[in-house]
Structure 1
Amino acid sequence: MVELKSKLIAQAHTEGFDLARICRPWDVPQVPERLAAFLGEGRHGQMGWLAERSHWRGDPAALWPEARSVIMLGESYTPEHDPLEVLDWPELGAISVYAQNKDYHDLVKKRLKRLARWLIAETSDDTAVKVFVDTAPVPEKPLGEAAGLGWQGKHTNLVSRDMGSWFFIGSIFTTLEIEPDAAEIDHCGSCRACLDICPTNAFPAPYQLDARRCISYLTIEHHGPVAPELRALMGNRIYGCDDCLAVCPWNKFAQEAREVRYHARSDLVAPPLAELAELDDAAFRTKFSGSPIKRIGRDRFLRNVLYAIGNSGRMSLMDSARQHVDAPDPTVADAAQWAVQRLKDAAKEME
């Protein structure tokens, strides 16, 4: 098995993964208690599936009792630009780095499947495997920590000494017994950069997240109107938020993404809000074909764009907001009306 593990790691790198480590499904004993506390506080917001499948997410071994090893993989998507720069340009939209090109779910899953097929070919047709990438009740970050990919930082995301914060993770569960790697230890020290930069104070304490205040959650998972007191704090972030990832000091060791389909599309690095406000459903689907942004739909995306317009303070964007005040979707109409009023208020303050 030692020789197989070495060959497996080498093959993972050949397939495009930058990190490959092994743990066992039961190596995350802390997850049930932490998950129960998170759900008990209601911090999952509208993400009901976290509660509905908590018995699996809290115990990976229960997801597939026959599994004996979990192969944890990491793949870099380090940006070539500073994702915080766009925040200084309120007439432009800020899109999370991971969504500035192709949907990573599709790309990572294809790599996982190729690696899983290789593993079966190298061992036996009796070898069973299951691949997962962010779409099943798998506690990927705790498993990543257990396998040694990195540690869950104070922002609750996985941080690697080799990759910083910019990497996707996926997993292959298998019935094979493969020697596990040592878990990673916490290297955050006294640093609070990720906690202090959060625009909405979404971290009640280090290593704790209240998704209901997280801009990534609000712009992607939350449906319906966002609470008025949070809208102004969202700035020009229209899909996700990278603030806590971008300021991590460990990013100085991050490796540039090898996969060109993770490199940002020029039109998504800092798109003009006025242009995005003009997208009808067909244009939205065309522009974001193959992008993770497409899954939230045009109306939710437009809601985010309108909040950003309201926060911009740019009277030049008034018409972009006004055209949607009578939108068929009540959430879009509400966002447009809020944006118009906010721009008017900003204009008065300038007088």
Structure 2
Amino acid sequence: MRRLVEARARHLGFDAVRVTRPEALSNLPERLSAWLSSGAQGEMAWMAERSDQRADPRALWPEVRSIIMLGMNYGPESDPLDLLARRERGAIAAYAQRRDYHEVIKGKLKELGGYLSAKGDVRVKVFVDTAPVMEKPLAAAAGLGWQGKHTVLISRELGNWLLLGAIYTSADLAPDAPEIDHCGSCRRCLDACPTNAFPAPYQLDARRCISYLTIEHAGPIPAEFRAPMGNRIFGCDDCLAVCPWNKFAETAREARLAAQADLAAPPLAELVRLDEAAFRQRFSGTPIKRTGRDRFLRNVLIAIGNSGEPGLVPEAERCLADASPLVRAMAVWACGRLSGRSACSGLFKRFGLGETDAQVLAEWDAVLGEGRTGRGEAERP
């Protein structure tokens, strides 16, 4: 049965398949509890919810005897770092330039699970980043790779461009040996992080991570992280791109994971003009759609503020009248970066005098100077 599962997985397009046991991660409850207690998960409350099931696969499904971990390569067609110099363009993480991997991988997992069930009297449950499953530690325990100092799974054969899926099964399958750590003294991923999101090797503080800030974080991005974001508008590949194990990486073989040309380097001037309907249409079927238009435009406006492009000033000014307070707030910041205090004083008279949102007014205060908006101390957030 093990050989049949492996052959079928390869046929479905998976680049790696290994097996582990639910009891393989005996220290995971303590590791997860310590990370959650530090608050490093930020606003990701779902990490703490059902943490018992996240830390122990048997708490999620008592029938599980084996866990099949699968990896699908999504290696980018070019170096993601090259785009960071094109300040008038938006940099989107490589995985998000493609069709939503949840849809692609889950369909294949269901097919593989159905195949497994048909070959024997076994039950299966499939997961792809949508349930309390610790995919990376399980993948490491199964021998797919090891969690690098940037906490992402690294494969000796495929580098760190891997999307993971899991099949919990009642079948008794022979497990693979876990992979050992091959990072050695290398710290390229740690040094590459623009916001110092790694307090120590193998530790990630999501609250400082650009991927978290641009995707999971709901409100205005803290001011200290805006300039380091550069033109990264959805996710960040810096720590992944510099990993030396990527010398073995290949571009994605799965046709549905091919990068979409219009997401490779989209002009910020186009993106900032998207209304709700246009946003949904442009990003339909991609991971970006789930973030929502307002949060996405927040990111785009920060990139515009970092661009240094005078031609983008009218685009930022236009967003000062946007219906979304989040968009207006970041438009204020972008105008301040591109035009300076003097120009923004006139903009405040046009767009800010009737403003009622506390966060937008706080951004005006930051640009014009405390008290210039006419608010009293009690009114400030």
Give the aligned CA root-mean-square deviation in angstroms.
1.3
Distance 1:34 1:94 in 2: 33
Q: Deviations over 1:274-332 (max 9, x none)?
A: 00011111111110010110001100000000000001111110011111112221111
SS in 2 for 1:264: coil
Instruction: Give the counterpart of 1:184 among 164, 167, 179.
Output: 179
C-alpha displacement of 1:31: 1.5
* Unpaired runs of at least 5, structure 1: none
Confirm or deny: 8 A CA contact 1:93 1:237 kept in the other structure: yes
> TM-score, normalized by length of structure 1?
0.96
Instruction: Give the counterpart of 2:210 among 184, 206, 215.
Output: 215
SS in 2 for 1:84: helix
Distance 2:87 2:279 in 1: 21
Distance 1:342 1:284 in 2: 25
* Unpaired runs of at least 5, structure 2: 344-381
Confirm or deny: 8 A CA contact 1:285 1:294 kept in the other structure: yes
Distance 2:98 2:311 in 1: 29
Confirm or deny: 8 A CA contact 2:156 2:248 kept in the other structure: yes
Instruction: Give the counterpart of 2:322 among 324, 327, 335.
Output: 327
Instruction: Give the counterpart of 1:224 among 219, 238, 262.
Output: 219
Q: Which has the higher contact order (CA 8 A, sep 6+)?
A: 1
Number of aligned residue pairs: 343
Instruction: Give the counterpart of 2:147 among 139, 147, 152.
Output: 152
SS in 1 for 2:319: coil
Q: Bigger radius of gyration, 1 or 2?
A: 2
TM alignment of 1:10-25, pairs within 5 A:
10-25=7-22
Corresponding residue for residue 274 of structure 1:
269
Corresponding residue for residue 131 of structure 1:
126
> TM-score, normalized by length of structure 2?
0.88
Distance 1:23 1:345 in 2: 57
Distance 1:260 1:72 in 2: 21
Confirm or deny: 8 A CA contact 2:160 2:243 kept in the other structure: yes
SS in 2 for 1:323: helix
Confirm or deny: 8 A CA contact 2:29 2:55 kept in the other structure: yes
Q: Residue type matched to 2:207 in 1?
A: R
Moved more, 4-13 or 149-158: 4-13
* C-alpha spacing 1:27/1:347, structure 2 compared with 1 (3 Å): farther
Instruction: Give the counterpart of 1:77 among 67, 74, 78.
Output: 74
Distance 2:341 2:37 in 1: 40
Q: Deviations over 1:71-115 (max 9, x none)?
A: 000001111111111101111000000010200000000000000
Distance 2:55 2:167 in 1: 18
Distance 1:346 1:242 in 2: 33
Distance 2:231 2:133 in 1: 32
Instruction: Give the counterpart of 1:202 among 197, 217, 221.
Output: 197
